[in-house]
């Protein structure tokens, strides 16, 4: 067993390379003892006690002034116990009080990892284990269960919280964090991933200093601005060395991450629901579940931490027939035609796709209602046969007859004021009575906290998908939530959370009804790139920015917490439609291959040389796709700082590797760029496929490989190595 309970007080969780330990102390409080490198024994010795001025003492401690929860490490800090640091839990009771006193009541250890009703979560029925610790407030009777899931071989521990209202009155959840980590000492850096639309998940590393650093989203989606992922690392940690802790949130709505260094140099990490706008009522005998947080530890730097997450996400979070399958190479009509297309346009794109070896054509925005721009028709999910010049079923049949798959774009969560649906059901949109709504992209958001709204849109989308052999759906969401007000909710403080439940309900029903469809998530590109979405859609459009040079940085930051198989990435036209930049075709292909791979351009406009390049890229991608998708991903340089952006994939047995290098800058009398490889088997030799040259692995990893010094900007190289 990976979970042990010993001496009537100590819980120990062991994974392959880490140990997590906590204890129930003499007063019944659950204290955190240790999380780090795998070890043995009782770590209670790490606790220290002293009379700390202005740090309160629980009543049960009597005259013992040495005991204060304001300075002790805890598993689930709560408001009302004398802990003045950021807490994981604030519950408002019937009398208006927000003071709780939750202590250990009982626990249960079981085989198989827990699941969460209505919410995405990692699964591991055979390999996983579950620890449930029930805390109880003797004054109110409230029960809160702390759920710990263990997937040992990936060094992953998950956490969730179940609030069971066992009182006689309603309670209101004002704050709820799914995970807390307390460190009694240590100097740390915090890695977070900030950004904006078209420039998501930019790495930021800063020292953890005194005070509280908070990041998150109040947008109703996880957002482009801050990703629900962070890494706490030793100040000396790098890609290959040092202790680091990853915390990621399996949720697609508003979230809050916090890191606080207190007056005694202790560090607390919290991840959970965004407290702004949260006032969730729980009636007597009802249960509320917090979304899951996933933790992983590495003593070997960021690469190992990323490998833990990548492998576990692929094996124990994503689902369906595409869980581990190589995805089809597709071409999307958006940058090829935008709103200006007919059925014949899509068909001709499919004809060209067939000639070039592309598997699928996707019809993007503009096929429904009277949608010729972004001012109308969202919510009117009826095929515009007049615009297409044929029925959807006929178009799909023509495309399929070519031997090409067909995909379609939808945006089910939003509504245009210029739509039949809005005229019939204006109350279905989020709007504050008596106030003009805030628009974004000239659209509003549907109230998915209401079952009847979700059901109606689901039925409309199904009627579209039932018209033909649709094998791919791109789910978009092109604005964030404002004026969040439900016309039917008895409490507005529950709406944001219930909205996300409605979203998940829709997607679960969609992939259940259409199990062979590949669902790709999207929110203006990467505005909802999170583990919650990956439970339903095994890939997410990484960014609306298809510029290859910008994508180097976007995909670099994304790779810290998410596998390459999740990153939707395409080759697009030049000048790039977002930046106006010109980059070589082979460079665009090299960058897009470190993702799901496809094309975002008008194939009919390609030159003969470019068409040959497409065929060659697709052949290379199909050859390397299993290695790219399932191999260990190594970041070799930092594209935020280094002239060369370099990364590689290595098979888990170390016998095969694919090196990718992009030179980001060219200067007069250019210096040499040596790229050090990683993950190869030591003391062996590898042959590079194109040149046939044989290299010693130790030299490749110690000194590196010199990149050619060539005239011209934006050079890209891709080299395939196999063990001799």
- DSSP letter at 671 equals P
Task: Say how many C-beta atoms besides its own lie within 10 A of residue 520's C-beta.
Answer: 26
Written as six digits, the tokens of 396 are 């799909």
Which whole-number Å values give the CA distances from 454 to 289, 397, 493, 499, 540, in the listed order?
Answer: 21, 29, 20, 10, 22
Residues facing 443 on adjacent strands: 440
CA 683 to chain centre: 37
Cis peptide bond upstream of 575, omega within 30: yes
Say how far apart CA 449 and CA 489 lie, in whole Å.
8
Q: Please, are residues 251 and 291 in contact by the beta-carbon 8 Å criterion? A: yes
Q: Please, are residues 522 and 541 in contact by the beta-carbon 8 Å criterion? A: yes
Best CA proximity match to 639, nearest among 706, 700, 560, 711: 560
Q: Which helix (H) or strand (E) holds 360?
A: strand 360-363
- Residue whose structure tokens are 């040992």: 152
Q: Please, are residues 633 and 702 in contact by the beta-carbon 8 Å criterion? A: no
Residues facing 475 on adjacent strands: 410, 521
Say how far apart CA 362 and CA 333 lie, in whole Å.
6
Written as six digits, the tokens of 414 are 């939003």
Residues facing 523 on adjacent strands: 526
413 among known catalytic residues: no
Say how far apart CA 393 and CA 380 lie, in whole Å.
18
Alpha helices (H) in 485-547, listed in sequence order: 495-513, 531-534
445 contact partners, CB below 8 Å, separation of at least 6: 220, 413, 414, 415, 429, 430, 479, 481
Please state the φ and ψ torsions of residue 373, each to the nearest 5 degrees: -160, -175
Written as six digits, the tokens of 534 are 């990956």
Please state the φ and ψ torsions of residue 434, each to the nearest 5 degrees: 80, 10
Which whole-number Å values give the CA distances from 717 to 68, 491, 553, 616, in the listed order?
Answer: 59, 57, 17, 14
Please state the φ and ψ torsions of residue 609, each to the nearest 5 degrees: -65, -40
Say how far apart CA 194 and CA 188 lie, in whole Å.
19
Please state the φ and ψ torsions of residue 248, each to the nearest 5 degrees: -130, 150
Q: Which of 25, 189, 372, 610 is catalytic?
A: 610
Which whole-number Å values give the CA distances from 235 to 35, 186, 206, in the listed order?
Answer: 17, 9, 9
45 contact partners, CB below 8 Å, separation of at least 6: none
Task: Say how many C-beta atoms besides its own lie within 10 A of residue 516's C-beta.
Answer: 11
Say how far apart CA 474 and CA 533 lie, in whole Å.
12
Task: Say how many C-beta atoms besides its own lie within 10 A of residue 145's C-beta.
Answer: 21
Say how far apart CA 532 and CA 285 lie, in whole Å.
27
606 contact partners, CB below 8 Å, separation of at least 6: 614
610 among known catalytic residues: yes
Length of the chain: 724
Best CA proximity match to 254, nearest among 494, 544, 521: 494
Task: Say how many C-beta atoms besides its own lie within 10 A of residue 317's C-beta.
Answer: 24
Q: Which of 243, 498, 530, 630 is catalytic?
A: 530
Say how far apart CA 580 and CA 546 lie, in whole Å.
11
Q: Please, are residues 214 and 241 in contact by the beta-carbon 8 Å criterion? A: no
- DSSP letter at 321 equals T
Say how far apart CA 707 and CA 718 lie, in whole Å.
11
Residues carrying an active site annotation: 530, 610
């Amino acid at each position: 067993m990976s979970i042990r309970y010993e001496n009537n007080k100590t819980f120990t969780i062991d994974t392959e390379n880490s140990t997590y330990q906590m204890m129930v102390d003499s007063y019944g409080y659950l204290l955190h003892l240790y999380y780090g490198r795998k070890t043995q024994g009782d770590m209670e010795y790490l606790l220290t006690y002293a009379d700390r001025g202005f740090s309160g003492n629980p009543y049960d401690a009597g005259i013992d002034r040495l005991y204060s929860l304001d300075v002790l490490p805890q598993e689930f800090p709560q408001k009302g116990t004398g802990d003045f640091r950021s807490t994981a839990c604030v519950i408002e009771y019937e009398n208006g009080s927000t003071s709780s006193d939750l202590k250990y009541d009982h626990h249960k250890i079981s085989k198989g990892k827990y699941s969460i009703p209505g919410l995405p979560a990692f699964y591991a029925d055979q390999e996983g284990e579950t620890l449930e610790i029930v805390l109880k407030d003797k004054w109110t009777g409230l029960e809160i269960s702390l759920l710990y899931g263990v997937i040992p071989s990936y060094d992953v521990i998950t956490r969730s919280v179940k609030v069971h209202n066992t009182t006689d009155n309603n309670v209101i959840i004002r704050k709820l964090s799914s995970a807390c980590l307390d460190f009694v000492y240590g100097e740390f850096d915090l890695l977070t991933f900030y950004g904006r639309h078209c420039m998501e998940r930019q790495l930021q590393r800063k020292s953890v200093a005194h005070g509280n650093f908070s990041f998150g989203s109040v947008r109703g989606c996880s957002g482009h601005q801050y990703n629900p992922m962070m890494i706490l690392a030793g100040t000396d940690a790098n890609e290959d060395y040092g202790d680091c802790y990853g915390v990621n949130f399996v949720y697609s709505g508003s979230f809050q991450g916090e890191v606080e260094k207190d007056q005694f140099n202790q560090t607390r990490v919290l991840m959970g629901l965004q407290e702004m706008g949260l006032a969730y009522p729980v009636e007597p005998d009802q249960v509320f579940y917090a979304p899951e947080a996933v933790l992983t530890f590495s003593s070997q730097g960021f690469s190992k931490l990323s490998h833990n997450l990548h492998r576990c996400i692929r094996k124990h979070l994503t689902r369906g027939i595409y869980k581990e399958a190589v995805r089809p190479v597709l071409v999307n009509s958006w940058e090829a035609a935008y709103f200006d297309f007919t059925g014949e346009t899509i068909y001709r794109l499919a004809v060209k796709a067939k000639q070039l070896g592309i598997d699928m054509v996707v019809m993007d925005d503009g096929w429904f209602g009277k949608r010729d721009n972004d001012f109308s028709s969202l919510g009117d999910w009826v095929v515009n046969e007049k615009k297409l010049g044929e029925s959807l079923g006929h178009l799909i049949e023509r495309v399929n007859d070519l031997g090409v798959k067909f995909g379609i774009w939808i945006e089910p969560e939003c509504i245009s004021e210029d739509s039949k649906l809005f005229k019939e059901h204006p109350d279905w949109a989020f709007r504050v009575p008596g106030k003009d709504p805030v628009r974004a992209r000239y659209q509003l958001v549907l109230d998915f906290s209401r079952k009847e709204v979700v059901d109606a849109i689901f039925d409309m989308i199904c009627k579209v998908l039932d018209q033909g052999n649709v094998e791919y759906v791109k789910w978009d969401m092109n604005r964030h939530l404002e004026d969040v007000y439900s016309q039917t909710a008895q409490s507005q403080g529950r709406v944001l959370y219930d909205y996300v439940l409605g979203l998940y309900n829709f997607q679960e029903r969609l992939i259940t009804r259409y199990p062979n469809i590949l669902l790709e998530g999207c929110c203006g590109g990467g505005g909802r790139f999170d583990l919650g979405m990956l439970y339903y859609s095994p890939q997410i459009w990484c960014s609306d920015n298809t510029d290859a040079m910008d994508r180097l940085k976007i995909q670099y930051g994304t790779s810290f917490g998410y596998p390459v198989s999740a990153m939707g990435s395409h080759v697009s036209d030049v000048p790039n439609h977002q930046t106006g930049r010109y980059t070589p075709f082979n460079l665009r292909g090299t960058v897009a291959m470190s993702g799901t791979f496809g094309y975002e351009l008008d194939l009919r406009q390609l030159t003969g040389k470019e068409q040959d390049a497409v065929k060659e890229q697709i052949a290379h991608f199909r050859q390397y796709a299993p290695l790219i998708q399932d191999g260990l991903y190594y970041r070799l340089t930092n594209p935020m700082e280094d002239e060369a952006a370099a990364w590689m994939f290595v098979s888990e047995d170390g016998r095969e590797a694919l090196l990718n290098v992009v030179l980001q800058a060219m200067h007069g009398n250019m210096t040499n760029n040596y790229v050090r490889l990683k993950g190869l088997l030591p003391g062996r030799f590898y042959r590079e496929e194109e040149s046939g040259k044989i290299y010693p692995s130790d030299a490749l990893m110690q000194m590196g490989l010199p990149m050619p010094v060539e005239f011209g900007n934006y050079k890209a190289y891709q080299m395939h190595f196999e063990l001799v």
